[in-house]
Amino acid sequence: MKHYGKFYIDGAWVDSTGPRVQELVDPTTGSVFATVAMGEIEDVNLAVAAARRAFVDYSRSSIETRYELIGRIIHAYEKRADDFSMAIAQEVGIPRSARAQVAGPVEHMKVARELLKKYPFESRMGDTIIRREPLGVCALISPWNWPIQTTVIKLIYALAAGCTVVSKASINSPVSAVLLGEVLEEAGVPKGVFNLVNGSGRVIGEALSNHPDVDMISFTGSTGAGQQVGESAARSIKRVCLELGGKSANIVLQDADLEKAARWNVQRCFFNAGQSCHAPSRMLVHESQIEALIPYLVDEVNKFRLGDPRDLATTMGPVVSQTQFDSIQRHIQSAIDEGARLVVGGTGRPEGLEQGFFTRPTVFVDVAPNMTISREEIFGPVLAVVPYATETEALEIANDSPYGLGGYVFSGDRRKGYEFASGLRAGRVCFNGAATNSITPMGGYKQSGIGRSMGAFGLEEYLEIKSVYGFEAEAVGLPELFA
- pLDDT at residue 306 in the model: 98
Region 343-348: mean pLDDT is 98
SS3 77: helix
- pLDDT at residue 483 in the model: 61
- pLDDT at residue 474 in the model: 62
Buried b (16+ CB within 10 A) or exposed e, 11-48: beeeebeeeeebebbbbbeeeeebbbbbbbbebbebbb
Question: Which value, in Å, is the radius of gyration of the alpha carbons in the chain?
Answer: 23
Residues 15-30: pLDDT tens digits?
A: 999 999 999 999 999 9
Question: Across the chain, what does the average pLDDT equal?
Answer: 96
* Residue 277 known to be catalytic: yes
CA 413 – CA 274 distance, rounded (Å): 29
- pLDDT at residue 277 in the model: 95
Residues 152-183: pLDDT tens digits?
A: 999 999 999 999 999 999 999 999 999 999 99
CB-based contact 381:325 (threshold 8 Å): no
pLDDT > 80? residue 12: yes
pLDDT band, very low/low/confident/very high, at 480 (cuts 50, 70, 90): confident
- Type of residue numbered 212: P
Cβ-Cβ contacts under 8 Å for 102 (sequence gap 6 or more): 81, 84, 85, 88, 148
Phi first, then psi: give them for residue 240, nearest 5 degrees. -125, 145
- All domains of the chain in start order, with CATH: 2-244 (3.40.605.10), 249-431 (3.40.309.10)
* Residue 391 known to be catalytic: no
Region 220-224: mean pLDDT is 95
Catalytic residue among 138, 241, 277, 430: 277
pLDDT > 70? residue 475: no
- pLDDT at residue 400 in the model: 97
CB-based contact 383:269 (threshold 8 Å): yes
Region 250-263: mean pLDDT is 98
SS3 315: coil
Tell me which DSSP letter residue 478 carries: P
- pLDDT at residue 477 in the model: 75
Angle at the Cα of 432 from the Cα atoms of 427 and 436, rounded to 5 degrees: 45
Which neighbouring-strand residues pair with 251? Answer: 284, 409
Region 195-209: mean pLDDT is 97
Catalytic residue among 91, 243, 300, 391: 243
Angle at the Cα of 354 from the Cα atoms of 351 and 356, rounded to 5 degrees: 125
Angle at the Cα of 151 from the Cα atoms of 430 and 9, rounded to 5 degrees: 170
CA 358 – CA 340 distance, rounded (Å): 22
- pLDDT at residue 478 in the model: 79
CA 125 – CA 186 distance, rounded (Å): 42
The separation between the first and the last C-alpha atoms of the chain, rounded to the nearest angstrom, is 61
CA 383 – CA 367 distance, rounded (Å): 10
pLDDT > 80? residue 472: no
pLDDT > 90? residue 126: no
Residue in 308, 312, 384 with CA at minimum distance from that of residue 341: 384
Region 186-202: mean pLDDT is 97
CB-based contact 297:268 (threshold 8 Å): no
- Type of residue numbered 335: A
- pLDDT at residue 93 in the model: 98
- pLDDT at residue 136 in the model: 98
Tell me which DSSP letter residue 378 carries: -
Q: Bigger pLDDT: 338 or 473?
A: 338
Query: What predicted TM-score, i.e. pTM, was given to this entire model?
Result: 0.96
Tell me which DSSP letter residue 437 carries: -
Which of left, alpha, beta for 446 (phi over 0: left; psi -120 to 50: alpha)? left
